[in-house]
Amino acid sequence: MSRLSLKGLLVPNVTPFTREGELDVDGLRSCVRFWLEGGVSGLVPCGSNGEAPCLSREERMKVIETVVDEVNGKVPVVAGTGSVSTKETIAFTKDAKDLGADAVLVVTPYYFKLSSKEICEHYRAVCESSEFPLVLYNVPKFTGFSLEPAVFSKIANANENVVGVKDSSGNVGSMAEIIRLVGTRISVLAGTGDAVLPVLMSGGSGAVVAVANVFPRLCSGLYEAFVKGDFERACRLQRQVSFANEVLVKRHNQLSAIKAALKLQGLPGGYPRRPALLLDDEETRDIENLLKTMGEQDSVSK
């Protein structure tokens, strides 16, 4: 198995649905082109922002197949394959591998409260089933618990095909400890928009952040500024990314807010799948104000 190195700014991309709740494949293709034109380093379909828990197995496969085809090898595709059960996670991982993804993103099992031993065994079984590049995914906002850095280290050191960690805890101290423990061997990726630069400064490899759906060029520009050593610009861009994250991810239902922002920019982000609802008029005006403010900040920073 060749060693996959993930770095830069990746998009945990949304899944466009029609008003009736069906997949909008053409809309997804248009969005993929928008993200690629924004200079992103990779795409992550069927993650949290892709509403993966609301997708059937067949829908997951169609989304991954579409993204892989549209990307056409330009950047890595890291497909979300995590599920509640080990058996289903293994099946989803096999699907992603067969469909041409470059790696998989596997969220910690959710719903039931598991011990560290059970979680380690879960990842061991998934890794051994496919010997396919795998990124660990910690997102306590949705799963209800957070993995300790030592557990990350144990899983990564025990399974050769673990190539990365996406940590969406927002705990920069914890992410710095993950970097200390495993950052020389695998990619450590920030999973929240307000932690991108802090994680990079701590030795991380990049980020997978929701706001990149709406502002791919801004987010990729932050990474590029860091790599070039232009820290003044990197700090300025981080402030913009953090502001966008505050509005899109923290203030509103991020599934609905991100799709509303895409629609306001003329992009076919589609509708959220129920039970998530469209934003109301007041919430939509908040997104309109965000886009206006971000446009004004961008014009000043150029």
CB of 11 within 8 A of CB of 217?
Answer: no
Look up tokens 């860091």; give the residue: 226
Contact 83, 126 (CB under 8 A): no
166 is known as an active-site residue: yes
Q: Which residues contact 173 (CB under 8 A, 6 or more apart)?
A: none
- Which DSSP category does 138 fall into? E
101 CB neighbour count, 10 Å cutoff: 28
- The three-point CA angle 28-52-164 to 5° equals 95
Write the DSSP symbol of residue 109: P
Q: Is 225 left (phi over 0), alpha (psi -120 to 50) or beta?
A: alpha
| Marked catalytic residue, from 97, 154, 166, 263 | 166
Instruction: Let me know if 228 is a catalytic residue.
Output: no
**Helices and strands (H, E) in the chain, number of each type:** 12, 8
Which of 97, 123, 137, 259 does the annotation list as catalytic? Answer: 137
The DSSP symbol for 194 reads G
Q: Which of 102-125 are b and which e, b meaning 16 or more Cβ less than 10 Å from the residue's Cβ?
A: bbbbbbbbbeeebeeeebbebbee
- Cα distance between residue 296 and residue 74, in whole Å: 31
Active site residues: 137, 166
